[in-house]
Amino acid sequence: MSSVLEKAVIAVPAGAWAIGVSGGADSVALLALLRGRAGVRCHVVHLDHETRDGASGADARFVADLCADWRIECTVARRSELEPGAAGLPANRSARFRALRLELFRQVCAARELGGVIVAHHADDQAETILQRLLRGSGSTGLVGMRPLTRVGGLTILRPLLGVRSSELREMLRAQGQAWREDESNTSPAYQRNRVRALLATNPSLSQCLLAMGDAMAEWTAWARAGAPVLEEEFATRELADQPDALAAEAARRWLTARGAPREELSAEVLQRLVEMARDLGTPPRRHFPGRLLVARRGGRIGLVERG
């Protein structure tokens, strides 16, 4: 095992964890690494999306059989079982499936008292994520990419493979003679992530540049978070207007997030709109922000008028 893989395995805390396994090479490699990790108990979780003319069902059977061979506890669920009880699912198909997977992870972690879920996002996924966010106009916080440890709706998510390239995971499985499943939809140009993946596959140096930018943005974001002021529910415009651009954007992000604005919708352009409200009295005194927030400026102060 390479030093990079050893470092990834060691980084996983001892305890009982759900492991998200799709059947693809990366998730199978993650499980192969963790099942031998001292102090870690694995419970595999797989969601059959019931797509691709039955191929997703074959993925589910592969995962169940693999867990049986490796004597690992496993929960396999179908999308049609989860959807009726899930409220507020996104209309976008990819986002909908992601929300359902998170819901399944929450249910399994709660029922079996697991510490959270470990997923197989790796360095190539990270480069793709950063480029996609760059194309959407994300600010410095978004360009950090995925984090090794996050909490989403109370669910702890670990990503120990963010420093590992997908090719190394596949090489490990080949060396072990371990099979995996290929999802043909991952090559369809109908999805932006697949188009981005194809671009990066033919430009490997670009992936390295994106990862380096993500590291730089992480340092920048840490500096901005340490230096940006914490704004009250209602604050004087000068508290935001007098800050350097980077600190003003971070203070705006923090304030909007605390009011309920979705983090993923707080682009650099959105943050700049709030900063402009504080700096330029010629801007509209009432403006809408993500999360159905209506923000108003009155008498040199800015506050939330209503939350839709």
> Can you say how many angstroms the Cα of residue 96 is from the centroid of all Cα atoms in its chain?
14
CA–CA distance, 289 with 253 (Å, rounded to integer): 11
- Per-residue pLDDT tens digits for 236-268: 999 999 999 999 999 999 999 999 998 878 888
- Per-residue pLDDT tens digits for 9-42: 898 999 999 999 999 999 999 999 999 899 999 9
Q: Is 42 helix (H, G, I), strand (E, B) or coil?
A: strand
The pLDDT of residue 87: 81
CA–CA distance, 203 with 197 (Å, rounded to integer): 10
CA–CA distance, 94 with 221 (Å, rounded to integer): 28
DSSP 136: T
If one compares 153 and 294, the residue with the highest pLDDT of the two is: 294
pLDDT grade for 111, boundaries at 50, 70 and 90: very high
pLDDT grade for 187, boundaries at 50, 70 and 90: confident
The pLDDT of residue 188: 81
Domains identified in the chain and CATH numbers: 3-203 (3.40.50.620), 228-307 (3.30.465)
Taking the model in full, what pTM does it have?
A: 0.85
- Per-residue pLDDT tens digits for 199-234: 999 998 999 999 999 999 999 999 999 999 999 999
pLDDT(308) > 70: no
- Cβ neighbour number for residue 192 with a 10 Å cutoff: 14
pLDDT(65) > 90: yes
- Cβ neighbour number for residue 38 with a 10 Å cutoff: 6
> Can you say how many angstroms the Cα of residue 3 is from the centroid of all Cα atoms in its chain?
25
CA–CA distance, 8 with 37 (Å, rounded to integer): 11
| Percent of the chain scoring above 90 in pLDDT | 79
- Per-residue pLDDT tens digits for 126-181: 999 999 999 988 878 889 999 999 999 899 999 999 999 999 999 999 999 999 99
Cβ-proximal residues to 8 (8 Å cutoff; 6+ apart), any chain:
33, 160, 161, 163, 164
Q: Is 16 helix (H, G, I), strand (E, B) or coil?
A: strand
pLDDT grade for 91, boundaries at 50, 70 and 90: confident
pLDDT(1) > 80: no
The pLDDT of residue 306: 75
